[in-house]
């Protein structure tokens, strides 16, 4: 078919239908991927937590001969990710509570929290413990606006 000197190829109805179906499949796949990506990220964080907890139980298993075994180190950044995730969910949590919840050694948690505070990722919480540095401070009690009647 010719129109204004531009050649437009003939496309069979089946080809148009197939292209339309492929577009619909692609759009549905992209939409579903956007829906599940946060779940995938959460699953990765949970795997990190389970890895740390698994190390806790392996540290307590004595070797043959009564010696304590030293567990392998956590993957690089795993402790940081676990701590930041927990602090994000529980602002005001203390390092001792983080250690109890995750199974990490208190010394590991304390040094990681100190480093995260130095690097500006965590800060002291108004009521004790720590919170994410990006978290809004709680409004001061007694210093807000008073309603006038």
pLDDT, position 98: 93
Helix (H) or strand (E) holding 111: helix 106-118
Cα four-point dihedral sign 52, 57, 62, 68: positive
**What are the start-end ranges of the H helices in the chain?**
13-59, 78-89, 95-102, 106-118
Please report, in tens digits, the pLDDT of each residue of the chain (149 residues total): 445 566 655 656 667 777 888 888 989 988 988 888 877 778 777 887 887 777 655 555 454 454 454 566 778 888 999 999 999 999 999 999 999 998 899 999 999 999 999 999 999 999 899 999 987 766 555 554 545 55
Distance CA 5, CA 45 (A): 60
- Say if pTM beats, i.e. exceeds, 0.85: no
- Structure tokens, 63: 């070797």
pLDDT, position 77: 85
Q: Give the C-alpha distances (Å, rounded to integers) separating 55 from 22, 44, 50, 103.
A: 47, 17, 8, 8
Answer whether 127's CB lies under 8 Å from 92's CB: yes
pLDDT, position 122: 95
Residue 114, helix vs strand vs coil: helix
Kindly report the backbone phi and psi dihedral angles of residue 68, in degrees, each rounded to the nearest multiple of 5, phi listed first.
-75, 140
Distance CA 114, CA 119 (A): 9
Q: Does domain 74-132 have CATH number 3.30.470.30?
A: no
Domain boundaries, the chain: 74-132
């Amino acid at each position: 078919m010719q129109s204004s000197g531009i050649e437009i190829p003939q496309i069979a109805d089946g080809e148009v239908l197939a292209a339309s179906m492929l577009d619909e499949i692609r759009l549905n796949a992209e939409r579903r991927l956007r829906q599940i990506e946060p779940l995938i990220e959460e699953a990765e964080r949970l795997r990190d937590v389970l890895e740390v907890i698994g190390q806790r139980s392996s540290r307590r298993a004595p070797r043959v001969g009564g010696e304590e075994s030293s567990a392998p180190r956590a993957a690089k950044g795993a402790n940081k990710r676990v701590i930041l995730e927990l602090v994000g969910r529980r602002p005001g949590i203390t390092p001792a509570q983080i250690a109890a919840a995750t199974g990490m050694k208190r010394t590991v948690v304390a040094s990681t929290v100190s480093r995260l505070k130095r690097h500006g990722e965590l800060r002291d919480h108004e009521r004790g413990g720590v919170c994410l540095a990006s978290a809004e401070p709680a409004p001061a009690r007694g210093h807000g606006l008073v309603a006038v009647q």
